[in-house]
Chains A and B, each alone.
Chain A
Amino acid sequence: MLVSIYRYNPQTDDKPVMRDIEVEIPGGKDLMILDVLELAKRKDSSIAYRRSCREGVCGSDGMNMNGRNGLACITPLSDTVKPGQKLVLRPLPGLPVIRDLVVDMSIFYKQYEKVKPYLINDEPPPTIERLQSPEDRAQLDGLYECILCACCSTNCPSFWWNPDKFIGPAGLLQAYRFLADSRDTATAERLAGLNDPFSVFRCRGVMSCAAVCPKGLNPTRAIGHIRAMLIRQGT
């Protein structure tokens, strides 16, 4: 099988190129894209990519596979390419490339940091722990599962255009995770930090974030909830 891989080393290359590599795919089983990359790396050890847990938990191997963002370790080859088609691997779009498929995620983490992704509670701490009812805990389902792989934010046109101002779907999903938390007491402060024309309102609701989330989460819905909270608070 022909695998076309984005190759770029800023220290030695003038510009990035797509380089093809022939990989022997063993018959009888459906490999994950990460397995294909490992086979390609056996032929060319200079290919750079991130990987760690190989089971969709760490979020390291987010990349663009035949035009679609996802985690290479849990994306089956059969879902990505049709028989006879070439596998095309590129880095996550919109972020600076460090080398080949490895991107610099600093701006992504900076946006994540902006939403203060930790519990803020100014009430005196209880003896053991802050309790939640099962109903309140259920509010966090579909929010806390985010693994920060950046597949959603790097698939969002608004994030490509304003990565330094628009928080992006991943950051906003986490912003709502803490806004929805019954134990958090900084709701007004959190909302005040989001009520500018960029942080939340650059979301155009195209849902390309939800379309690619490897965990099946829906950041667009969370952004809608934040917008509703801002409307309730600000009108």
Chain B
Amino acid sequence: MVSRVTNLGRSGLFHWLVQRFSAVILGAYMLCILGSTLLSPEMDYAHWQAVFDSNLMRVFSLITLLALCAHAWIGMWTVSTDYLTDLQLGTRATFIRLLFQAGCALLIAVYMLWGIQILWSI
């Protein structure tokens, strides 16, 4: 059993399930937005605002945003533990990996809070 404190939940199965479920949510949301765009011949700001004004769409968008953040974190954490390893970078690896992970976490947190603010300001 290999354990790392920087992964979410410490379980590979948890990661794997979150990535699959979040991918399904992201796919469904993209289809929803695509459908809404294609089914509205006159897509203007007023229509776009009306779409996002409903609570249902807000909740769906928020769930998608959270799914995107979780998906991105697991993806970037995986990338960092694949490429930024002792094998590739020697003794500096831990510092570089932690720096990269902290940067990703910060960026994802900023995008999440900013996204929530945008969603609730419509």
Contact = CB atoms under 8 A, between A and B. Distances in A.
B10 A227 contact: no
Majority secondary structure, B binding face: helix
A163 B17 CA distance: 24
B1 A235 contact: no
B85 A196 contact: no
Interface stretch (A41-49, A80-88, A197-205): A197-205
A162 B85 contact: yes
Contacts of A227: 13, 16
Contact of B81 (A162, A195, A199, A231): A162
**Interface size bracket, B side:** 10 to 19
Given A161-B83, A162-B81, A162-B82, A201 B1 contact: no
Q: Which of B1, B13, B15 has the most CB of A within 10 A?
A: B13
B12 A198 contact: yes
A193 interface: yes
Contacts of B78: 197
B1 A192 contact: yes
A201 B85 contact: no
B38 interface: no
A231 B87 contact: no
A234 interface: yes
Given A196-B11, A200-B12, A201-B16, A161 B1 contact: no
Contact of B15 (A165, A192, A201, A235): A201
A3 to B, nearest CB: 31
Given A164-B87, A195-B13, A197-B4, 9 more contacts: A161-B85, A163-B87, A194-B12, A195-B11, A196-B1, A196-B10, A199-B2, A227-B13, A230-B12
Interface of A: 158, 161-165, 192-202, 227, 230-231, 234-235
10 contacts: A161-B88, A194-B12, A195-B13, A196-B11, A197-B78, A198-B4, A198-B12, A200-B12, A227-B16, A235-B13
Interface of B: 1-4, 7, 10-13, 15-17, 78, 81-83, 85, 87-88
